[in-house]
């Protein structure tokens, strides 16, 4: 129940970040950086309908595509996020109409728009959801082709960014290109930050095995892989080799414990954001 509630809060929060980014910063400045929001900005400029109207219509159509190609597990989450995003964007046009940008600093607004939308998208991707639109297309590509999400988004959004040149001119198009490249970078960076863990390698004297294993299993509530088939090159002494994956706080506790237990022990820590196994991702 707690996991379901946490996922629901993450989906809601990620969607709200996305809505704020596109409605208050992208739409008024005509920033077409890809996705349904970018497509809506372009269509709104050449027709009489608002970006919010196009967002609602296109998202509903692409959501059906997501059901067909990605499956019900993806669809249920995306139905909520896609509907919430589309409806909120549409209603904001009546509650708080945006006739002009909030400031006279388009580059500042571009940075805020990209950060908010990228953070929202990354949070949703992390719980296997999406706000719909070309995010659905990207996840379909990712499912059937061995590419990461950033590359899939790049494939899905290039044509939309290119169209901005013919509709808004060179200046706005350059802002769109900068925003598009930044969005791809931020999504990937934020995803890695969300999933960041620490892969720890401990090299210590064998007589400390039981003490450190008890600490890892009982205090840190984790496990480790242990081997005795190692020895030091300098003094030819047998060494205990352990490898385990922890979060940031657990890693700090482990390093402090090992240092107090054996001042000559080694703890090697590397960052990793892609781990499959019990306690992490259950499947590839």
pLDDT digits (tens, 9 = 90+) for 224-250: 999 887 888 877 888 899 999 998 889
Q: Could you identify the residue written with the tokens 């590397």?
A: 270
**pLDDT exceeds 50 at position 284:** no
Residue pair 30/45 in contact (Cβ under 8 Å)? The answer is: yes
- Residue 110's Cα: distance from chain center in Å? 19
**pLDDT exceeds 60 at position 283:** no
Q: Could you identify the residue written with the tokens 């959501």?
A: 63
164 CB-near residues (< 8 Å, 6+ apart): 30, 32, 38, 41, 42, 172, 173, 176
Percentage of the chain beyond pLDDT 70 is: 89
Give residue limits of the domains in the chain: 2-194, 197-272
Residue pair 127/4 in contact (Cβ under 8 Å)? The answer is: no
- Of residues 213, 270, 260, 275, the one with CA closest to residue 241: 213
Question: For 103-112, what is the mean pLDDT?
Answer: 92
Task: For residue range 23-78, list pLDDT tens digits in order.
Answer: 999 999 999 888 888 889 999 998 888 999 999 898 888 878 777 777 665 567 87
Task: For residue range 70-83, list pLDDT tens digits in order.
Answer: 766 556 787 888 88
Please give the CATH architecture assigned to the domain spanning 197-272.
2-Layer Sandwich (3.30)
Q: Which residue has the higher pLDDT, 161 or 64?
A: 161
Alpha helices in the chain (DSSP H): 2-21, 27-29, 35-46, 51-69, 72-95, 106-126, 134-144, 149-168, 170-194, 209-214, 248-261
147 confidence band (pLDDT: 50, 70, 90): low
Question: For 199-222, what is the mean pLDDT?
Answer: 91
Whole-prediction pTM value? 0.73
């Amino acid at each position: 129940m707690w996991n379901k509630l946490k996922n629901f809060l993450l989906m809601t929060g990620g969607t709200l970040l996305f809505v704020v980014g596109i409605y208050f910063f992208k739409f008024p400045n005509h920033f077409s950086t890809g996705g349904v929001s970018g497509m809506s900005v372009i269509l709104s400029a050449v027709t009489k309908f608002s970006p919010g109207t196009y967002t609602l219509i296109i998202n509903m159509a692409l959501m059906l595509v997501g059901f067909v190609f990605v499956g019900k597990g993806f669809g249920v989450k995306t139905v909520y996020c896609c509907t919430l995003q589309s409806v909120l964007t549409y209603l904001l046009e009546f509650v708080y109409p945006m006739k002009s940008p909030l400031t006279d600093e388009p580059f500042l607004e571009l940075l805020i728009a990209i950060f908010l939308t990228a953070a929202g998208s990354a949070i949703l991707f992390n719980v296997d959801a999406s706000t719909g639109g070309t995010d659905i297309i990207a996840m379909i590509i990712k499912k059937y082709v061995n590419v990461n999400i950033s590359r899939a988004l790049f494939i899905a959004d290039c044509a939309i960014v290119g169209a901005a040149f013919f509709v808004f001119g060179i200046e706005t198009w350059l802002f769109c290109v900068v925003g598009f490249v930044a969005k791809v970078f931020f999504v990937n960076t934020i995803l890695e930050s969300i999933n960041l863990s620490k892969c720890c390698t401990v090299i210590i004297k064998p007589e400390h095995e039981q003490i450190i294993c008890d600490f890892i299993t009982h205090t840190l509530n984790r496990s480790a892989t242990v081997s005795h088939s190692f020895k030091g090159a300098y003094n030819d002494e047998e060494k205990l080799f352990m490898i385990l994956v922890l979060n940031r706080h657990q890693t700090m506790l482990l390093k402090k414990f090992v240092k107090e237990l054996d001042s000559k022990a080694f703890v090697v820590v590397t960052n990793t954001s892609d781990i499959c196994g019990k306690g992490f991702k259950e499947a590839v």
